[in-house]
Structure 1
Amino acid sequence: MSMFCFQCEQTAHGVGCVDLGVCGKTPDTSAAQDLITFELMKLAVAAEGRPPTAELALTFMEALFTTVTNVSFDADACAGLAQTIAERRLAWTHGQDVVLEAVAEPGALFESATTEGSCRALLVLGLRGMAAYAYHAHVLGHHDPRVDAWLVGGMAQASRSHSVPEWLELLHDFGMVNFACLELLDHANTSCFGDPEPTEVSMRVQPGPFIVVSGHDLHDLSMLLEQCENSGVDVYTHGEMLPAHGYPALRRYSCLKGHFGTAWQNQRKEFSELPGAVLFTTNCLMPPLSGYQDHVFTTAMVAHPGVSHIDADPDGHKDFSRVITRAKELGGWAEPHNFTGINGGSTLTTGFAHHAVLSVADTVVGAIESGQVNHIYLVGGCDGALHGRNYFTQLVESTPADSLVLTLACGKFRFNDLDLGTVGGLPRLLDMGQCNDAYSAVTVAQALAKALGVGINDLPLTIVLSWYEQKAVCVLLSLLALGVKNIRLGPTLPAFVSPGVLEVLASDFGLAPTSTVQNDLVSQ
C-alpha cells in the first residue's frame, strides 16, 4: 500500500512521503487520516446553514487534531474515528451521501502541483493547527463561537473550488480567526494558571521516581501534578511543556522539579535508558523503541499501537494512577542526574510572555529610543531533525550585543541554553512560551509599535521562523493576515506551497526562505 503525505517539513526528498512517513506513520494510518479529513468535509457541508453545536465543534477539534503530525499512529483508531464521523453525517442527511464539489476521494485531497491544491492544503493544514489550539482552550472551559464556526465552515469551503483571489481571502479570514483562537487560548491559560513570570528552570533530575510530561496541554499537566503531589513521584517537563514553569498555579506544586532533555526529536536517544514514566499529551510523540515503550503513556488524541492510553471520564477528569505506579516501579536514578542543553547550559529561563514583557515596556521603549537596543529578533517555531537547523543556533549566536532575541515554540531548544547576557537592563534572550504564544509576540510588537508611533513593519524587528508541522502553518497565516511582512521561513519551504502561491506570498508579504546567517543579518 502506498501513501502520499507532505504536511511536515521533513517530508521525503522535500516532496512527499510515499512508502512510509518520515515521522513513522504507516500507509494505513495515512489513509485513515485522509479519510477522516474527507469525512469531515462531508459533515461540514451537511452542517452548513446552522450554528455548530458545542458537540459538533468538539468533533471537528478532536478529529482535525488527530491528523496533526506526530499525534496518532494508530490506524485502527483513526479508521474508527472516520467511521463515526460518517455515521453522524448519514444520520443528519437521512442516509444520503454528500458529494463534494472539488474533492472526489480521500486520495485527491491535496494536489500540490496546482494553485488550487496548494491553497486547499494551506487552509486544511491551518485548520488542523487551529483545532489543536481550540481543543486546549476547550478542556479549560473556554470557547469562541467564531472559532467553532470556522472549524466547520472552513472545512466546507476547503471542499470547493475557488478563484485565486477567493482563496487568498479565505486564507486571510482564517488567519484572523486563528489569531482570535490564539487569544482565546492565552486567556484560558492565564485565567486558570495566572500570568507567566520569568522563571529559571533546572535540567537536573533528582533521585527517586519521576514522570516526564511532553506536549502542550497545561490542563493535563495540572491534573497530573495534583495527583503526584505528596505521592513521592516528581514531575519534569519535556519539549513544549517547559513554559509551564512560568505559570504560578503550576509552579506552586512541589513535585514539579525541572525540565528533562533537549529537543523533542532527540527523545529516542534520551528515553532509551530512562528509569521513569513518560506522558505524551499532544503532538511530538515519536514511535517509541521497544526498550522503553512500556514506560510511555498517551492521552487525548495521542495514540500509538502497544502504548497504554489514559482516557478522560465523562466529566473530563483523568486518572493518572497507572503512570504514577509505573514511575514508582521504575524507581528513577539513585543519584542526581545532570542534563545539559545542546550548547552545554544546565538551566533554562522561561516565562517572558506578553504580561511580563509589557510590564517593563517603558524600559524596552526607552532602550530602543536611547540606542541601547538597536534591533529585536523574533526567532521562533518548531524544531526537527533534518539538516539546516543549525542555522537558527548560528543566527542567535551572531545577533549583535545591542539586540534582543524573542523566542517561542520548540525551535528554541537549539539555543535557549546560551548565555547571551543583558542589554538595556533586560536579558537578551526572552523565552515567550509555546508555539501558541505567538499571540504574546504579536501583542508585544503591537504595543511597542504604538508606543514608538510607528507601524509594526517599521519596528527594528526581524522575524525568522522555523517550521515543522501544522501549528506553524496556522501561526504563519495569522501573521500574514495581520499584515506582518518580510518574514524569513526555513530551513526549507513547505512542499505543499506551489510556485504560484509562493510567488504571491513573496510579492504581497515579502515572505522569503532563510539563506545564510551572514546574508540574513546583513539584509536587515
Structure 2
Amino acid sequence: MFCFQCEQTAGCASCTGGAGVCGKTADTSNLQDDLTGALIGLARAYDGKLGSEKATRLIIDGLFTTVTNVSFNDKTLNELIAEVEAAKEAAVPGCSGCGSVCGRNDNYDLTKLWDDNEDIRSLKSLILFGLRGMAAYAYHAMVLGYTDEEVNGFFYKALCVIGEDLGMEDLLPVVLEVGEVNLKCMALLDKANTETYGTPVPTTVPMKVEKGPFIVISGHDLYDLKQLLEQTKGKGINIYTHGEMLPAHGYPLLKEYEHLKGNFGTAWQNQQKEFDNLPGAILFTTNCLMPVKSSYADRVFTTEVVSYPELVHIGEDKNFTPVIEKALALGGFAEDQEYTGINGGTELTTGFGHGTVLSVADKVIDAVKAGAIKHFFLVGGCDGAKPGRNYYTDFVSQTPEDTIILTLACGKFRFNDLNIGEIGGLPRIMDMGQCNDAYSAIRVAVALAEAFECGVNDLPLSMVLSWYEQKAVCILLTLLHLGIKNIYLGPSLPAFVSPNVLNFLVENFNISPISTPEEDLKKILG
C-alpha cells in the first residue's frame, strides 16, 4: 500500500507495508485505489463532462468512501467497484471488450500517480484529496435533495485531469478551481441545511448523560439524525450527539425534539476510550470511525457510506430498529452521569453560524470601532491524536481578552469547554458549526471586509487552522482561491505537499507552519 492523504501518515511521509496508521489494511487501501481508478475511468467514459444521475451518484459515493476513517470493509468496496464498472459499460456499451483500446474509459492505475514526479504527484494529490472532501459535502446536500450541475460536472473534469499527462502549469489552475467549486458546494450544503432545519441559533449543550436508554450519534449527516429522532420519539430513549454532530443542537427543527438531550464525548480520536463498555447504542453516519474494539463492537451501527466488517449496517430505508432495540436492551446508565470536556467544562455552546453572527454585525462593527474588539481569530479544523495538538488549547487560552475566537469542525473540542468570558454580551468563543460551515466563517469575513471597506487580508483577522483529512484540504483550497493569506497551519504540514509546491504556497499565500502559541501570537499581534 501507499497512502499519505491524512495528517497521521507514518513518519510524516506515507503509510506503506501491511497497514495504515488509521487501521486500514493494505488490501483495503489498495481497493480504495482501485475504486478511485475506476471512478477516473467512469469520468473518462463521459469525456470529463457531467454524466447520468446514477453515474454522478456513484462518483460522489465513491470519492466520499475513500475519505479517511469512512470504510474499512473490503466487501462493500468490491461491490462499489462493480457498480462503477457497470455504469461505465452503460455509458459506452461494449467499449471495454474492444480489441483496440482507445483509452476512452480505461481505469487509471494510481501507482502511476504515486510513482510520478513529486511535484506532479503533489498537485494531483491536492486535486484528488480536495475532490474527496468536496464529495462529502455534495453527498450531504444530495440526500436533502439539493444538487448543483456545475459542482457535479467538475467531479468528472477533475478526475480526468488526474489521469492525464500534464505539467505543473496546467495543474495549478485546477488545484485552485477545486477551491472555487468547493465554495459553491459549501454554499449549496448551507442552503440545504438551513432551508431544511432552519437557521442555527446560539444554544448551550450539556455534557451530562441522563439515566435510562440512549443512543450516541456521530458524524455529520443531519438527515440521519432527523430520521433517528423521529423513530425514537416516545420510546423513552435519549439521543446524544458526538463529535461533528454537536452543531445539530443549534438547528430550530432539530431542537424541537425533547429527547435530543446533549453531547457525549469529545473529538473522534478519543472514541475507543470513551465508547469502551458504554451501555448505549452508537450510530456512525459519516467519517470519523476508528477500528472498533471488542468491548463495544456489539453496539456500533453504521449507515450511508460508512462500513466496517461484521457491524450491522442501516441501509437506504433508514430503518433504525436494530439501533433502537440495542439501546433498549442495554438500558443505559442506572443514574445520571456527569461528563466534562478536556479542560473540565461541563457544557458547550454552538449555533453561531453566519446567520447569527451577521444578525448582530452592527454590534460587532461598533465594538471594533470602539476598540473593544481588537482582533478576530479563526481557530478551527480537524482534531487528531498526534502530539502537539495541545497547541490549539494553549493558543486560545492565551489570546487577549479583547479578541474573539471563531471556531468550527472537531478541532474545537480542544478548547470549546473553556470559559474565557464575553465582549459586549458576545461570547469570546463562537462555535460556527461543522467543517463545512467554513462557509459561515467566509461569509462573516467578507461581510466585515465590506463594512470596513477593505480586503479580507486587511482585516484584524487571523486564521490558525488544524488539519487531519481531505475535507480540510478542500477548505484550504477554497481559502486560497479567495486569495486569503497568512494562514497558520498545523500540527504538521501535509506529506503530499512537495518542497516546490510548498514554496509556491508560501510565496503566493504566505502559509506558515505553527510554532508555539507565544511566538505565533506575538507575530500576529505585534
Partner of 2:27: 28
AA paired with 2:337? H
1:200-236: CA deviations, max 9, x gaps? Answer: 0000000000000000000000000001111111100
Partner of 1:48: 47
Distance 1:305 1:509 in 2: 43
Residues 101 and 159 of structure 1 are in contact (CA less than 8 Å); yes or no, is this contact kept in structure 2?
no
Partner of 1:521: 521
* 5+ long unaligned stretches in structure 1: none
Q: CA deviation at 1:46?
A: 1.1
1:368-393: CA deviations, max 9, x gaps? Answer: 11110000000000000010101111
Which ranges of 4 or more aligned residues in structure 1 deviate by more than 4 Å? Answer: 100-104
Distance 1:176 1:292 in 2: 42
Partner of 2:99: none
Distance 1:416 1:112 in 2: 42
Kindly tell me: are residues 331 and 101 of structure 1, through their superposed partners in 2, closer, same or farther at Cα, counting changes over 3 Å? closer
What does 1:370-519 align with in structure 2 at a 5 Å threshold?
370-519=370-519
Partner of 1:134: 138
2:12 is the alignment partner of 1:14:
yes
Partner of 1:319: 319
Partner of 1:87: 86
Q: What TM-score, normalized to structure 2?
A: 0.96
Q: CA deviation at 1:53?
A: 2.6
Kindly tell me: are residues 100 and 291 of structure 1, through their superposed partners in 2, closer, same or farther at Cα, counting changes over 3 Å? farther
AA paired with 2:327? A
Distance 1:50 1:470 in 2: 24
Distance 2:125 2:177 in 1: 16
Could you say what secondary structure the match of 2:464 adopts?
Answer: strand
Q: CA deviation at 1:80?
A: 2.1
Kindly tell me: are residues 335 and 29 of structure 1, through their superposed partners in 2, closer, same or farther at Cα, counting changes over 3 Å? same
Could you say what secondary structure the match of 1:394 adopts?
Answer: helix
Q: CA deviation at 1:84?
A: 2.0
Which moves more between the two structures, 11-20 or 99-108? 99-108
Residues 2 and 114 of structure 2 are in contact (CA less than 8 Å); yes or no, is this contact kept in structure 1?
no
Q: CA deviation at 1:153?
A: 1.4
Residues 112 and 498 of structure 1 are in contact (CA less than 8 Å); yes or no, is this contact kept in structure 2?
no
Partner of 1:184: 188
Q: CA deviation at 1:113?
A: 5.5
Kindly tell me: are residues 56 and 324 of structure 1, through their superposed partners in 2, closer, same or farther at Cα, counting changes over 3 Å? same
What does 1:137-152 align with in structure 2 at a 5 Å threshold?
137-152=141-156
Q: CA deviation at 1:162?
A: 2.2
AA paired with 2:62? A
Partner of 1:39: 38
AA paired with 1:492? S
Partner of 1:174: 178
Residues 202 and 350 of structure 2 are in contact (CA less than 8 Å); yes or no, is this contact kept in structure 1?
yes
Q: What TM-score, normalized to structure 1?
A: 0.97
Which moves more between the two structures, 418-427 or 352-361? 418-427
Pick one of 187, 197, 206 that aligns with 1:193.
Answer: 197
Could you say what secondary structure the match of 1:337 adopts?
Answer: coil
State the identity as a percent.
54
* 5+ long unaligned stretches in structure 2: 97-101
Which moves more between the two structures, 438-447 or 10-19? 10-19
Residues 110 and 120 of structure 1 are in contact (CA less than 8 Å); yes or no, is this contact kept in structure 2?
no
Kindly tell me: are residues 323 and 101 of structure 1, through their superposed partners in 2, closer, same or farther at Cα, counting changes over 3 Å? closer
Could you say what secondary structure the match of 2:287 adopts?
Answer: coil
2:239 is the alignment partner of 1:235:
yes
1:183-210: CA deviations, max 9, x gaps? Answer: 0000000000000000000000000000
Q: CA deviation at 1:100?
A: 7.9
Q: CA deviation at 1:148?
A: 0.6
Q: CA deviation at 1:104?
A: 5.8
Kindly tell me: are residues 216 and 333 of structure 1, through their superposed partners in 2, closer, same or farther at Cα, counting changes over 3 Å? same
1:317-359: CA deviations, max 9, x gaps? Answer: x110110000000000010011100000000000000000000
AA paired with 1:481? H
Partner of 1:77: 76
Distance 1:146 1:414 in 2: 36
Q: CA deviation at 1:261?
A: 0.6
Kindly tell me: are residues 519 and 250 of structure 1, through their superposed partners in 2, closer, same or farther at Cα, counting changes over 3 Å? same
Aligned length, in residue pairs: 518
1:72-120: CA deviations, max 9, x gaps? Answer: 0001211221122123213333333463899962323334761111100
Q: CA deviation at 1:49?
A: 6.2
Distance 1:487 1:265 in 2: 25
